[in-house]
Structure 1
């Protein structure tokens, strides 16, 4: 039932001192968020930066790109600066593409980081794609290579590339695991002190096609390794729940096994689809024509196909799920970390569901009835006592998807970074990873809730 294991982590020391000044583009770090009523201040730092507005995009260095204005600014190809061959390892074809590039300013997070995740929101018509790269500077003043954080296109039309992460990227100090750049030995004290991003936009030669990138985001974090996290007390979200649709991944067992085991491992796209439809968006009948008409909830099959990472061979790539959600009209999406259930309560109270990633033994989450090395579900509310109301796609039917999980158990399995598996071996946890999907124009209350967790 797992969509993906949590990213590799090793024991790390406490965070280093806060870096010198943040850049003008920096959003407030989630570490600055005020904890919920009565809770202690969680350890660790989480910092979010995003390029969304016209001035932010214009502050980068474009080569062959330009920034579109209007109500939703975005980066597009203006005049390509050259051609590049790409040998697709998944289609086994080689094609030539025109390209243009954009580079961000060097950005200093609120504190040096051990892990970085990049996400993006874009439109990529058939015949176009994008590549997102990151280069970091360590606290010892050396630099990483340019790491590929994803090659992405929203579809899989004939002649297009296949969306993919890139394995085998390392400089002996850090490495990329699917979608996460991590310092290899954080116990040494080495951290990533700054970073810059590079986007390369591609299209078929001789056409006027272009990707449009509306949002580029970075989540940089330094979360201390721990088996147990501090408990939070119920806050403003208690007694509130959202009307999110309920979809089971399990009813899709055997359907389209080419997309990661045909439903059994579709927790991430199933959770994504629930929240996309909560916001009133869904695939059109034409979008779903490829799905066997005898299948219930064909939109879940569609989500699995369009989040599938051909290198990872699964649907659990975090940025790919966020990018899929943002292909729907006026939705945007980020990957971040939250630091307690109080953060989730503020978001839910403002009308924003939270898709969480966690790993646990069956004995660690009463009522689940299973254990997992990595599983996504959707937090849709809280009981009057503050327990978690979750839409858990690892349920036998749609009707059984809504569950109530004990607050303390849920918070610990979600936020911890270390755990023991059934064999007693030490394994990693997600450290509070989540997806947030929300409108391009959120309400004032939604914007304040997002800002409180460092997302703008």
Structure 2
């Protein structure tokens, strides 16, 4: 990731390149930064070029290398701090404050993804009571056996009183680079794909206490999605609409500039909050007490604060949004990729809404009324003719959030990895990135649908 000053320069260039409208600012930074890396030309390597590995079972947590950690057994297995491996002083780079912390470490077994990967995107679900936090790192091996460094992919806590939640800028080894929350191979054409990886979780607590973070799920999505400007169209297969609450990000324009100021920067937390509430979860009155009582939908402000990345300077960090959803202890959440609207229909059919990331010019999505280099919305269903029903937070008010978008247009802007701006410049697409949130105890139909798209 670039330094903050460079990041703002990239944002300015992207704003000039897209049609005026409600751009998802945080996602836009990611899209333009990824485009700055050598694009390469990637050929398909598997029928499904996505591999998800999430450690979450009792056997998972009993395995791996424990240095002061222990497996939590029972109805919801996890990982906790048992006996500290040591004490360290940590200086928060965003506050300058130095504090001592006890810590313990768990390192996963090596996982070899089914697809040699050009990208890794992590996810984790955890409880971090006040006085605790965690760090997520990943390493791996390239196809020639060379090791990646240990990359930090998040210093995270649900709150912001102990550390300021943040990604880490400036990480790379000449073959791969960390773009906020994504490890991306710099030049896939050179054959530097990642063939194996390990996860490392470091759990921290105030010295002399018995506090502990508890991690329920952690892992990564590894993928090698081929470069493509176009995608094959899928045939309609489902007519259903889920009753997902509707919130507009534009209701909050100018609110809380310390958390990126609402509006275009809040597409991701607004989408997350809609989906969290679909599952019947929402912040308590005490958790919302800090919000100005004059502001509508204070829970959206809460979601923005709880997803804000102080290095990225925005709310669009993908794993941070999933981690926020999973702070509600009976929800699971991951970041992954889907390969078609048929897969998305499978999830909708099981009652699971899907938060999707896409970029497009104004004329590429009929009825949107804006263009964006990166935006999140929640797919809630399909019409009888197969068109996409989306809760699009880039709307003037809550009543306008429900949109119907043409199937072929929407599928294209979501699944492609490359697009051209009006001036012909090539920009990155997300290649089907989405967030999935579902109950900790899913129904049989939900389990089957998740398994069908490679999430277990």
TM-score by length of 1: 0.92
Post-superposition Cα deviations, 1:117-152, rounded to whole Å, max 9, x if no partner, equal: 011000001111000100010001101100001110
**For 1:173-322, what aligned pairs fall within 5 Å after superposition?**
173-235=175-237, 238-322=238-322
Q: Distance in 1 between matches of 2:269 and 2:327?
A: 14
Post-superposition Cα deviations, 1:41-79, rounded to whole Å, max 9, x if no partner, equal: xx6500001111110111111100001111001100000
Residue 210 of structure 1 and its aligned partner are, at CA, apart by 0.5
Q: Distance in 2 between matches of 1:404 and 1:97?
A: 50
Q: Distance in 2 between matches of 1:264 and 1:53?
A: 38
CA contact (8 A) 1:12 1:187 kept: yes
Deviates more, 1:182-191 or 1:381-390: 182-191
Q: Distance in 2 between matches of 1:125 and 1:422?
A: 48
Residue 13 of structure 1 and its aligned partner are, at CA, apart by 2.4
Post-superposition Cα deviations, 1:166-218, rounded to whole Å, max 9, x if no partner, equal: 01000000010000001000011220000011100001111111000000121
CA contact (8 A) 1:243 1:278 kept: yes
CA contact (8 A) 1:44 1:224 kept: no
Residue 265 of structure 1 and its aligned partner are, at CA, apart by 1.1
Deviates more, 1:5-14 or 1:127-136: 5-14
Residue 383 of structure 1 corresponds to which residue in structure 2?
A: 383
Structure 2 residue corresponding to 1:14, chosen from 43, 68, 93:
43
Residue 340 of structure 1 corresponds to which residue in structure 2?
A: 340
CA contact (8 A) 1:44 1:222 kept: no
TM-score by length of 2: 0.92
**For 1:405-444, what aligned pairs fall within 5 Å after superposition?**
405-444=405-444
Q: Distance in 1 between matches of 2:173 and 2:436?
A: 31
Q: Distance in 2 between matches of 1:332 and 1:77?
A: 21
Q: Greater share of helix residues, 1 or 2?
A: 2
Deviates more, 1:163-172 or 1:2-11: 2-11
Residue 326 of structure 2 corresponds to which residue in structure 1?
A: 326
Q: Secondary structure at the match of 2:303?
A: helix
Q: Secondary structure at the match of 2:275?
A: helix
Deviates more, 1:70-79 or 1:422-431: 422-431
CA contact (8 A) 1:15 1:111 kept: no
Q: Distance in 1 between matches of 2:291 and 2:422?
A: 38
Residue 374 of structure 1 corresponds to which residue in structure 2?
A: 374
Q: Secondary structure at the match of 1:266?
A: helix
Post-superposition Cα deviations, 1:235-292, rounded to whole Å, max 9, x if no partner, equal: 2xx2101000000000100110111133331000000000000000000001000000
Structure 1 residue corresponding to 2:98, chosen from 68, 73, 94:
94
CA contact (8 A) 1:336 1:433 kept: yes
Q: Distance in 1 between matches of 2:295 and 2:263?
A: 12
Q: Distance in 2 between matches of 1:422 and 1:48?
A: 35
Residue 64 of structure 1 corresponds to which residue in structure 2?
A: 68
Q: Secondary structure at the match of 2:259?
A: coil
Structure 1 segments of 4+ aligned residues over 4 angstroms from their partners: none
Q: Which runs of 5+ in 2 are unaligned?
A: 1-22
Post-superposition Cα deviations, 1:365-418, rounded to whole Å, max 9, x if no partner, equal: 000000001000000000000000000000001000000000000000000000
CA contact (8 A) 1:15 1:112 kept: no
Residue 15 of structure 1 and its aligned partner are, at CA, apart by 4.3
User: Aligned pairs, how many?
Assistant: 427
Structure 1 residue corresponding to 2:145, chosen from 141, 153, 169:
141
Q: Secondary structure at the match of 1:302?
A: helix
CA contact (8 A) 1:14 1:44 kept: no
Q: Distance in 1 between matches of 2:228 and 2:109?
A: 34
Aligned Cα RMSD in Å? 1.0
Structure 2 residue corresponding to 1:49, chosen from 31, 46, 53:
53
CA contact (8 A) 2:205 2:212 kept: yes
Residue 11 of structure 1 and its aligned partner are, at CA, apart by 2.9
